[in-house]
A and B are shown apart, each in its own frame.
Chain A
């Protein structure tokens, strides 16, 4: 069942070999094939535009009012590429090496190598589209060092790199829409997948304005629907980000890979009130110049300026002298949690640490700091009312990204033939921890440069029978979707959707967040089904299914989070090792660092849904490391 289809041969040649071995579709025949792409973020929009250019007949779906709203737009920091424009020792191999190691040896080597190779083409492509990357006075592209790497390989567009890359893909997509190769379906949410004779052949959607449930058939379906960090309720994800598309596909047979691998980002603005609806990320580029500290004394409530230098604990610099404030995200987050658990946290509730720029301002002057980080300082002031040029920022970790997702092979195809998964929605390239500036790279690699090869190969090498929405499978799935919507709307209980979502989020943050224990996970596994029952018997959705109904939209997504949460805890429980963002308290070194267990856990967990009243079945894809040798990560 778990055939990863990694090509043979040396790692540098695998992708070339795979591309040569792929079957092609005659240009004249391409328009006869229909491709459904769900999601219009970096992966989805890039794939839709590229396949439209090749001549395929593409239908692209987004629950937003415009494809430009996808949450890729919010990425701040940058995008990695092994261009070595700085002559500082970077190379494809080094980007590959850093990514495998940064992922704590839980990603596939072959996939990561391909990602590093493609990274150079992405920058070329984006510049050709007019993405306004930062430049130097001579007109060449500028780069910076980012998120715990020692070379300068991150390309950026001020603090809005995701926005500019997405607009590039969006504009290419709009060009194809105008050309008639892509039909865009906005305000359409995928609520189920249609599988015919073992192959993905279409989707069922809800029109979010009219409430109409609609069916769409195709020869191949791509999901580029992003991550599921909102299972925690509070996260840096957009409010609409959800798991529904991949979860519905999982229930139709797609295996779910590494569901417990969640990234908790170290530099976010701390939670300030009970009604808080989301958390705001501050780009981790801030760690290039800011110094992280807490008071040495517990419960020290003095203002930061009146705490003398020798009573401050610059704990990252102390514990990790060679990387200091630039340790990878998982390490920085866990250390922040530890010092706060020790009672040394700062700000309201003691859930925060300082990120202090006073040394940088002394060294570089305030105008230089303003030029580098001005928009971030402004954003911080808008939210907190504090001026970070005068007092240190307060930061705390927040859920940011999910490395887990639907299991895919080297071709990005899930375990359902004809269902491809791209970007954050798949599990593939980041292992147990994603390095900074790698998400944009992966989304665009999948969309621009991998799917446009692997998807035609699938079409050309499969004998696809003619299927349209008149096939009985479509009517059957549509009926199920309609019943589910009707059931939800008719519960008419006492609790709002948000109140249940918040309760789930707290449970997940406490027991399946930055530190996970067997006891906490078992407690969640007992309580989540109860909360699910509460939802299905006591939720109150105002209004009906046949109208613009945001409560109903949220309810459908929360219903799926309530199932996914259980699988995440189950996965975290079976992985009795610490790796990357997954820290099991039972598995640590004597000095409190994460302790991996390669003998027992060097595999991808891929879970199979067996029905509502049956247990999931765990499949394992063993991981082999031929090029990057297994070592315990050390940033000391």
Chain B
């Protein structure tokens, strides 16, 4: 099949960007979306033009490197799928697709479709961990964890940090990302000692990084490649109120 791509091209963080149209021919249904872009880049390079910069690494939906908007939808809009796993069999000959980077103040564009997501790392630095210096751990079975709590912790920990939730949110909020880490750690007995401090610090870091706030659009859950539920934002808010009141009482 043949496709028309309108791709956001931007030389670096300071330059102005613009959409440029390209034709991609001989795309086969068994290619992945990124393999289609590889093909575009091979053709561009053969013609002496700069290839489109896009981030990717594992190409199996787990590293969280890839991601951009396809016709305005993060990762292309197939439920539970990162763009690297998106198959070309979902597209048809003659389709016209617009590709642009995540748009959020906290994620500045570096070049073309690549953005700087280091704000996520800084939210984790604020409290997205359980302090357990190497060597001092008790036996792994010393603390029992109810299966349901372990399952919820896992559901939350499945987040790959790709940033789609921020890109999809009209407010560019990072609340799904932050609440997933808070829910993961706050659900486990090992996470209880730092529960209040973690919640307060991570929420504060999120605000400092210029992310917006949740107004319940639910776009984040809809595009999340790991299907993290918006319910976790409710849990985070509950933990935040709890922590704030707790602190006031101290």
Give A residues with C-beta under 8 Å from B: 46, 49-50, 53, 64-71, 73-74, 83, 85, 121, 123-130, 132-141, 157-158, 160, 162-164, 167, 170-172, 174-175, 177-178, 184, 186, 209, 238-240, 272-273, 275-278, 280-281, 378-379, 382-383, 385, 448-449, 452, 496, 498-499, 540, 542-543, 547-548, 550-551
- The answer to whether A68 and B51 touch across the interface, beta carbons within 8 angstroms, is no
Stretch of B95-103, B111-119, B209-217, B232-240 lying at the A interface:
B111-119
Distance, CA A498 to CA B42, complexed state (A): 8
Report if B8 contacts A (CB, 8 A): no
- The answer to whether B57 and A127 touch across the interface, beta carbons within 8 angstroms, is no
**B contact residues around A382 at 8 Å (CB):** 81, 85, 87
Q: How far is the CB of A27 from chain B (nearest CB, A)?
A: 13
**A contact residues around B139 at 8 Å (CB):** 124
Partner of A136, one of B44, B55, B137, B147: B147
**B contact residues around A65 at 8 Å (CB):** 55, 65, 116-118
Give chain B interface residues in 177-192, CB to chain A under 8 Å: 184-185, 188, 190-191
Distance, CA A140 to CA B128, complexed state (A): 24
Distance, CA A213 to CA B150, complexed state (A): 45
Q: What are some 27 contacts across the A-B interface (CB < 8 A)?
A: A65-B117, A66-B117, A69-B63, A74-B58, A127-B137, A127-B143, A129-B129, A130-B153, A132-B150, A133-B140, A134-B150, A135-B145, A139-B144, A174-B121, A177-B125, A186-B121, A209-B110, A209-B111, A273-B28, A378-B80, A382-B85, A383-B85, A383-B87, A498-B42, A547-B11, A548-B53, A551-B45
The 10 lowest CB-CB distance pairs between A and B, nearest first, are: A139-B144, A128-B137, A171-B129, A128-B132, A178-B125, A124-B137, A132-B154, A132-B153, A50-B134, A238-B57
Q: A66-B161, A383-B85, A550-B51 are in contact. Are A133 and B150 (CB under 8 A)?
A: yes
Distance, CA A133 to CA B153, complexed state (A): 10
Partner of A178, one of B46, B126, B133, B184: B126
Partner of B64, one of A53, A68, A83: A68
Q: How far is the CB of B234 from chain A (nearest CB, A)?
A: 20
Distance, CA A278 to CA B60, complexed state (A): 9
Distance, CA A496 to CA B185, complexed state (A): 46
**B contact residues around A496 at 8 Å (CB):** 42, 45-46
- The answer to whether A139 and B126 touch across the interface, beta carbons within 8 angstroms, is no
Q: How far is the CB of A381 from chain B (nearest CB, A)?
A: 10
Q: A124-B140, A140-B144, A157-B154 are in contact. Are A66 and B130 (CB under 8 A)?
A: no
Distance, CA A199 to CA B115, complexed state (A): 38
Stretch of B33-41, B68-76, B165-173, B241-249 lying at the A interface:
B33-41
**B contact residues around A273 at 8 Å (CB):** 28, 30-31, 35
**A contact residues around B18 at 8 Å (CB):** none
Distance, CA A141 to CA B11, complexed state (A): 50
- The answer to whether B121 and A125 touch across the interface, beta carbons within 8 angstroms, is no
Partner of A69, one of B32, B65, B128: B65
**A contact residues around B32 at 8 Å (CB):** 277, 383
Partner of A129, one of B56, B132, B158: B132
- The answer to whether A277 and B59 touch across the interface, beta carbons within 8 angstroms, is yes
Distance, CA A180 to CA B48, complexed state (A): 45
- The answer to whether A239 and B188 touch across the interface, beta carbons within 8 angstroms, is no
Distance, CA A137 to CA B150, complexed state (A): 10
Q: How far is the CB of B174 from chain A (nearest CB, A)?
A: 14
Partner of A73, one of B11, B42, B62, B124: B62
- The answer to whether B87 and A69 touch across the interface, beta carbons within 8 angstroms, is no
Partner of B38, one of A50, A139, A277: A277
Q: In chain A, what residue has the closest Cβ to B157?
A: A132
**B contact residues around A137 at 8 Å (CB):** 147
Distance, CA A171 to CA B202, complexed state (A): 13
- The answer to whether B125 and A175 touch across the interface, beta carbons within 8 angstroms, is yes
- The answer to whether B58 and A85 touch across the interface, beta carbons within 8 angstroms, is no
- The answer to whether B63 and A174 touch across the interface, beta carbons within 8 angstroms, is no
- The answer to whether B111 and A548 touch across the interface, beta carbons within 8 angstroms, is yes
Q: A49-B134, A240-B57, A448-B134 are in contact. Are A548 and B63 (CB under 8 A)?
A: no
Distance, CA A272 to CA B87, complexed state (A): 12
**A contact residues around B56 at 8 Å (CB):** 239
- The answer to whether A125 and B132 touch across the interface, beta carbons within 8 angstroms, is yes
Q: A125-B137, A277-B38 are in contact. Are A171 and B59 (CB under 8 A)?
A: no
Partner of A164, one of B46, B61, B137, B157: B157
**B contact residues around A130 at 8 Å (CB):** 129-130, 153, 184-185, 188, 190-191
Partner of A172, one of B11, B132, B145, B157: B132
**B contact residues around A542 at 8 Å (CB):** 44-45, 48-51
Distance, CA A50 to CA B135, complexed state (A): 9
Partner of A551, one of B51, B136, B138: B51
Distance, CA A309 to CA B39, complexed state (A): 43
- The answer to whether A73 and B144 touch across the interface, beta carbons within 8 angstroms, is no
Distance, CA A295 to CA B62, complexed state (A): 35
Known: A65-B118, A129-B129. 7 other contacts (CB 8 A): A53-B133, A65-B65, A69-B64, A140-B141, A178-B126, A277-B34, A498-B42
